[in-house]
């Protein structure tokens, strides 16, 4: 398998571990607009960086959530990575603590935006779980 195929396979595997089916959906939507960018996202971000051995995926999501929150202008990506953090074992309480810690360095406005985004993700997950439970009971 050529090196580029290895990167793609590693990237897709890592993307799946963090984001489940949503990761591939996001990559596919990006590919419709900018195929090369979608390739870079999977190959470089997830195939090269996220799959490095120095940190596990949980630690990488902690760093990513804090960085996106501090930026204060990446709400969609922040929500995506909050979900990813939950998928790799972070608890809601840990995500809130990450955002509170970030407030020291990123500022309170960024923390308010990030905590609001986290609350929206938590609410979406609860709503989806409740709807699924109702369907199971039917």
Using CA atoms, how far apart are residues 31 and 39, in angstroms rounded to an integer?
A: 8
Same domain, 49 and 115: no
How many Cβ atoms from other residues are within 10 Å of residue 61's Cβ?
26
Q: Say whether pLDDT at 67 is over 80.
A: yes
Residues 120 and 136 in one domain: yes
For residue 99, give both structure tokens. 């955002």
Give the list of residues 6+ apart from residue 35 with CB closer than 8 angstroms, or none. none
Say if residue 29 is in the same domain as residue 71.
no
49 and 10 assigned to the same domain: yes
Same domain, 39 and 107: no
- Same domain for 14 and 70, yes or no, is no
Cα separation, 39 vs 13, whole angstroms: 14
Kindly state whether residues 71 and 126 are assigned to the same domain.
yes
Query: What is residue 135's predicted lDDT score, i.e. its pLDDT?
Result: 77
Given pLDDT bands bounded at 50, 70 and 90, which one contains residue 3?
low
Residue 81 and residue 61 share a domain: yes
What distance in Å separates the CA atoms of residue 46 and residue 44, rounded to the nearest whole number?
6
Query: What are the tokens at 21?
Result: 């089916």
Token digits for 110? 């960024």
The enclosing domain of 121 has a CATH number of 1.20.1290.10
Same domain for 122 and 62: yes
Tally of domains within the chain? 2
19-50 per-position pLDDT tens digit? 999 899 999 999 999 999 999 999 999 999 99
Q: pLDDT tens digit string along 113-123?
A: 999 999 999 99
d(CA 65, CA 71): 10
Does the pTM of the predicted model rise above 0.85? yes
Expressed as residue numbers, the domain containing 40 is 1-53
Task: Out of 53, 74, 94, pick the residue that ends a domain.
Answer: 53
């Amino acid at each position: 398998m050529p090196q580029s195929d290895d990167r793609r396979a590693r990237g897709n595997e890592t993307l799946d571990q963090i984001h489940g089916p949503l990761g591939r959906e996001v990559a596919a939507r990006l590919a419709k607009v900018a195929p090369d960018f979608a390739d870079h996202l999977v190959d470089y971000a997830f195939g090269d960086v996220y799959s490095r051995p120095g940190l596990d995926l949980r630690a990488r999501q902690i760093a990513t959530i804090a960085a996106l929150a501090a930026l204060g202008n990446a709400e969609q990506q922040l929500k995506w990575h909050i979900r990813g953090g939950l998928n790799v074992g972070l608890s809601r309480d840990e995500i809130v603590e990450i955002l509170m810690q970030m407030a020291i360095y990123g500022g309170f406005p960024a923390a308010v935006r990030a905590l609001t985004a986290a609350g929206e993700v938590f609410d979406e997950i609860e709503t989806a779980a409740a709807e699924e439970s109702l369907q199971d009971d039917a």
